[in-house]
Chains A and B, each alone.
Chain A
Amino acid sequence: MIDFIARRLIAIIPVLAVVAIFVFLMLRLTPGDPAAVIAGDNATSDQIADIRTKLGLDEPIWTQFAIWIGNVLQGNFGESFFFKKTVAELIAQRVEPTLALAICTLVFAVSLSVPIGVMAAYRQGSLLDRAVMGFSVLGFSVPGFVIGYCLIYVFAIELGWLPVQGYVRIGVNFWQFLERMVLPSLTLSVGFIALISRITRASVLEVLNEDYIRTARAKGLSNRVVLMRHALRNAAVPILTVIGLGIAILIGGAVVTESVFGLPGLGRLTVEAVLSRDFPTIQTVILLFSVVYVVVNLLIDISYTLFDPRIRY
């Protein structure tokens, strides 16, 4: 087990190396000069050249890369070109809304979609089942911002139950924080619920054909016990896998959702950084996302052992 975790942690290194090289090159090979953005519309070419020198952008590309990697390895992620702060500070400031959004979405989506999927499997072919299947097609195909604006229109503007936009820190006012989390999490959840409920349904359906389900029924157990204790736990592994993969959807969705609801999180920071060609910020945020993704999936792999004693690393 420890052997397994150690190997998996070591395996993160090449992943990050590839991500780092890729992001670094992509940024420098795409058109758009950060110095020009910083200098503004009326700057002379001399002023721009000055800024370039100051930012170290006139060095050869491999030198820039070496300097950046050297700093990153020492825990120094550089200074934002644009926000006049270190990238570390910037991220620390922006991490809370994104984390809150991700956790709310995850909790909401999982606690809703797993029971829905189980019920759909149990009542295969029923109205409920077809409704769930229909919803999941819709959930996959409607883009997040459409859902976001629809929710805002109905719940914030027409009904006036919830605020339209904005964020209140959890430490400042918990109730207001929660109010402002509802619509964004709901928006981000839709695709996630569609995905997980579908996988849960398929996975439980498969398990329900297993011999040990027949054994459980032959023991005289109630349908609820058969379903929850015997079927769901055996169906857990594929569900967990998809939740892990879905973290990527969450990260991608956070960018759109935060923009729609004006949450000052990492998603919006990414958008702002990209628009202003803020290289150090973009690079660090992308690296951070990759670390999160890899670590979450490692945790998911480890959690398999909790559900299935046959899996041993």
Chain B
Amino acid sequence: MSTEAKQPVLEVRNLSVALPKGGDRVHAVEKVSFTVNPGEIVCLVGESGSGKSVIAFTVMGLLAKALKPTSGEILLQGENILAASEDRLRELRCTRMSMIFQEPMTALNPVMTCGDQIDEVLSTHTQLDAATRKAKIIAILARVKLPEPERIYASFPHQLSGGQRQRIMIAMALVLDPVLLIADEPTTALDVTTQAEILKLVAELQAGQGTGVLFITHDFGVVAEIAHRVAVLRWGELVEMGPTEQILSRPVQGYTKMLISSVPSITPVHRGVRRDGTTILRTEKLGKTYTGNAFFQKARVVKAAVDVDLDIRRGETLGIVGESGSGKSTVARCIARLIDPTEGKVYIGDTEIATMSARKLRPHRRRVQIVFQDPYRSMNPRITVGDFIIEGPMNFGIGRQEAMARARKLMETVRLDPNALDRFPHQFSGGQRQRICIARALAMEPELLIADEAVSALDVSVQKQVLELLDEIRVRLNLAVLFITHDLRVAAQICDYVAVMSKGRVVEYGSAEQVFGSPKADYTKALFAAAPGRHWEFGKFAA
């Protein structure tokens, strides 16, 4: 091995990045040091706000103007990037260090073909002629295993799937064989099966070329799958760093222990199958077909849900698991009659609501309540959380005083301060907002609570708390819960029964133990096989 190969590709020494004045802390990143060696994948793990993306953007020189590195060095093959000029940084980008991002859906320019977007890298950084460039692009498209490279070359991003777009990003990043690849949550927005493929691809490509990878993630499953070494961050500081096996199984620091203990196990909790409660929800051949309007052309027909039969009894949680586009949210929305089903029946108790007129439906609306995925967008930013919670009950004729009293009690139920009712949503964190959304749903005293990816946007430690809260509420109020999620680990922990959906159909339906323990449908098996870190049983540590 030459001496150059032994030198780390990236060495971050004592890096601090200041936050603008008035932030929640002084430094976004404080005195962080680590190295990435050639051919090595180093994972930066941390919850939101831990500074992991700030480190990535500092290395690329793409930091927002408000953030300033205040101390330390970043050495890319020995060259200090923090001291490099803007022109030099531009030369280094995509030639020696490249980056791929979280959202493949938005990371590509929608008005340029994929080929042109990769070509830009070559024409900016090399003197190659057009024919050579094209040949090189076709070759890299083949290397990232995109089918029909010629067709992909001429495609626009919107014509490709999320996984394909992320492959384009990877091709763009690696076309000039950089020594360092920074991957900022590259699979977070992808389905689990696509995620598995992309992780495999990244690992293969970097091993082949000896590329050093700085991989940013919040997902310990991904860490277990791909990392050689792990660095755990919290509040901008490096908590702990070491080889993957050591960090995951023998963490030293309390924070690391807490994080790893929060990762839900993929083995379902045995709660015992009870079939004694009254049936709260039953669907019969529920279906939703979207028909596009066209004047002369043939109308486009999309079957978002087909023949869905489900039932939930009081005190039970039914999970619907599936990838994006599987129809799980469509089913939830049909059950809540937020959209109108086109086929089948929905019984809430004994009342059939699928075809009920909007006016007759109104009194039954109270009985089904829903908590949505994104606690940042599902609350009106201009009304206080108190008004947010009491709006529903008041709409059903409860007086303001009484509704407020109920809201105060519910705030206690979701473990928030009842005196915070006159605050606005932006004064709460994501986890707190999701609790408020749950309180709002409960204020209607529903019989069925639908949680549509309600914990997907939350950090693992917060996610764990919200899951525990939901389960506690279910037991206490003897609620029926319909839990929609793409996360198998979450489903394993909270569901009594699981329905696996694919392409609008329920492909497997049974008790959680049965579905997770001995899946029958091929699709379910493939889904479980793709779950990152499935071979790893994350320990429960006493912090």
Contacts and interface: CB of A to CB of B under 8 A. Distances in A.
B98 A218 contact: yes
Interface string B76-101: 00000000000001111111001101
The listed residue with most B CB atoms (<10 A of its CB), out of A220, A230, A308, is A220
Given A211-B107, A212-B110, A308-B110, A218 B124 contact: no
Given A3-B296, A220-B91, A220-B94, A215 B121 contact: no
B90 A310 contact: no
A215 B93 contact: no
Given A7-B295, A219-B124, A220-B95, A309 B108 contact: no
A211 B62 CA distance: 12
B172 interface: yes
A215 B111 contact: no
A218 B111 contact: no
A233 interface: yes
A310 to B, nearest CB: 5
Contacts, number: 75
Contacts of B90: 220-222
Contact of A3 (B62, B94, B297): B297
B297 to A, nearest CB: 7
A216 interface: yes
A210 interface: yes
A259 interface: no
Contacts of B94: 218-220
B488 to A, nearest CB: 28
A234 B109 contact: yes
Nearest to A217: B62
A210 B111 CA distance: 13
Contacts of A211: 101, 103, 106-107
B125 A220 contact: yes
A105 B189 CA distance: 47
B352 interface: no
A130 interface: no
Contact of A308 (B99, B106, B111, B169): B111
The interface residues of chain A, by DSSP majority, are classed as helix
A214 interface: yes
A3 B297 CA distance: 9
A220 B89 CA distance: 8
Contacts of A167: none
A212 B106 contact: yes
Interface string B124-138: 110000000000000
Interface residues of A, number: 23
Nearest to A234: B111
A234 B106 CA distance: 12
A110 B172 CA distance: 35
B60 interface: yes
Nearest to A307: B111
A233 B169 CA distance: 20
B376 interface: no
Chain B interface: which size bin?
20 to 34
A220 B110 CA distance: 19
Contacts of A233: 111-112
B124 A3 contact: no
B120 interface: yes
Interface in A263-284: none
Nearest to B169: A215
A229 B110 CA distance: 12
B120 A221 contact: yes
The interface residues of chain B, by DSSP majority, are classed as mixed
Nearest to B156: A309
Contact of B109 (A3, A7, A230): A230
B474 interface: no
Contact of A218 (B93, B109, B297): B93
Interface in A198-216: 210-212, 214-216
B107 A220 contact: no
Contacts of B406: none
A225 B95 CA distance: 18
B101 A214 contact: yes
A310 B110 contact: yes
B125 A218 contact: no
A17 B485 CA distance: 55
A222 B125 CA distance: 11
A298 B124 CA distance: 38
A147 to B, nearest CB: 36
Given A3-B297, A310-B158, A215 B101 contact: yes
Contacts of A215: 101, 107-109, 169, 172
B158 A220 contact: no
Contacts of A7: 295
A214 B62 contact: yes
Interface in B43-93: 60, 62, 89-93
Contacts of A3: 295-297
A218 B62 contact: yes
Contacts of A221: 90, 120, 124
Contacts of B112: 229-230, 233
B208 to A, nearest CB: 22
Contacts of B110: 212, 234, 308-310
Contact of A219 (B120, B158, B295): B120
B295 A220 contact: no
A-B interface, 9 closest residue pairs, ranked by CB to CB distance from nearest: A220-B93, A211-B106, A212-B109, A220-B90, A211-B107, A309-B156, A218-B99, A215-B107, A3-B296
Interface of B: 60, 62, 89-95, 98-99, 101, 103, 106-112, 120-121, 124-125, 156, 158, 169, 172, 295-297
Given A215-B101, A218-B62, A222-B124, 19 more contacts: A3-B297, A211-B101, A211-B106, A212-B106, A212-B109, A214-B101, A218-B94, A219-B120, A220-B91, A220-B93, A220-B124, A221-B90, A221-B120, A225-B120, A225-B124, A230-B112, A233-B111, A308-B110, A309-B110
20 contacts: A3-B297, A7-B295, A210-B106, A211-B107, A214-B101, A216-B109, A218-B62, A218-B94, A218-B98, A218-B99, A219-B124, A220-B125, A221-B120, A230-B112, A233-B112, A234-B110, A308-B110, A309-B158, A310-B111, A310-B158
